[in-house]
Amino acid sequence: MQFKRTLLAMLGLAMAAVAQAQGAWPSKPITLVVPFAAGGPTDVVARTLGAAMSKSLGQTVVVENKLGAGGTVAANYVAKAAPDGYTFFIHHNGMATAPALYRKLAFDPLKDFEYVSMAVDVPMTLLARKDFPAKNLQELVAYVKANADKINLANAGLGAVSQLCGMMLENAMGVKLTAVPFQGTAPAMNALLGGQVDILCDQTTQTIPQIKAGNVKFFGVTTKNRIKALPDAPTLHEQGLKDFEVIVWHGIYAPKGTPKGVIEKMNAAVRTALKDPDVMKRMADLGAEISADKQLSPEGLQSWLKAEIDKWGPVIKAGGKFAD
């Protein structure tokens, strides 16, 4: 009898928590976890969206950077967080590549999350330190091939898009370079600016200001077509790296079990933020494009993620780069 009463009381408390999360949500600040360093490309997207979402939600969206293991530390943290509507996660292609890259992954991207929405697509750019001895892509490829053992390539760890892009460049050039991992491309960019690393493939959301200021050598964009934010910049594809393409997509997730009503309200807040004129201008200036309309739903993100896992799994397994 006592056991039954305790069970009923616990059930009542759980239902009250869910009802509160759905009814008055959000009644306190919301955390948006970013899996890479502050000031870097993912962080820029998160803070831009978070500021706009705070306006429509009436509560602050606090960005929290949880670093490590190419984004998997943060993904695991969010997968295990309370599904109370106050923890969300923004991640990019790394959510789809992690299952193939890591032998032991403590979370399942397809089982441990609720899906809120996709957000923006971001091109990447191939950069080298300012005094790198090459004026264009042809010279860079020739120099890299002749000096592969001396050249290092910065990235943000296994699972980062800078690592994926770097690996694809190595394959395209037929070379193996020394990887220098950082906990985000913000510190990787600092190392490039300081001349401590030679080459970095990184997102326009961080690189456009450095390219425009002339602080780095810039060799082209990773999209098939030229981009509006850098109209004079050639693509790597048009310069001879045939079919080279990397586009960085971003999804917003919540721990599995987050109430459906909360996910719907969060989805509406993301959509409102993406139509905010300040967000649209900042994103356009930084080369980011708002995701296609059909991807701005929980189902849109879920099916895109599944397709990307199916696409990258075999490519990564064939490439043979894994971590435990």
Contacts to ligand MLT by CB under 6 A: 36-37, 40-43, 92, 94, 156, 160-162, 184-186
Q: Which two tokens stand for residue 148?
A: 């592969």
Residues 6+ apart with CB under 8 A from 23: none
**The tokens of 43 are what?**
């962080």
Nearer to ligand MLT by C-beta: 43 or 198? 43
If the CB atoms of residues 18 and 283 are measured against ligand MLT, the closer one turns out to be: 283
Q: Which is nearer to ligand MLT, 199 or 262 (CB)?
A: 199
Confirm if 185 and 168 have CB atoms less than 8 A apart: no
Q: Give min distance, CB of 288 to ligand MLT, in A.
A: 12
Residue 8 Cβ, how far from ligand MLT at the closest point, in Å? 47
- Least separation in angstroms between CB 43 and ligand MLT: 6
Number of neighbouring beta carbons within 10 Å of residue 233? 19
Identity of the residue, 122 or 270, whose beta carbon is nearer to ligand MLT in the bound complex = 122
Q: Using the minimum distance from each CB to ligand MLT, give the nearer residue, 92 or 217.
A: 92
- To ligand MLT, the closest distance from the beta carbon of 165 in angstroms equals 8
Cβ 322 to ligand MLT shortest distance, Å: 17
90 versus 270: smaller Cβ distance to ligand MLT: 90
Whether the link from the prior residue into 26 is cis, omega within 30° of 0, is yes
Q: What minimum distance in Å lies between the beta carbon of 170 and ligand MLT? A: 15
CB 140 within 8 A of CB 284: no
Q: Quick one: tokens of 201?
A: 């493939």
- DSSP for 206-235? HHHHHHHTT-SEEEEESSSS--TTSTTPPB
Reference 189, options 177, 203, 172; nearest CA is 203
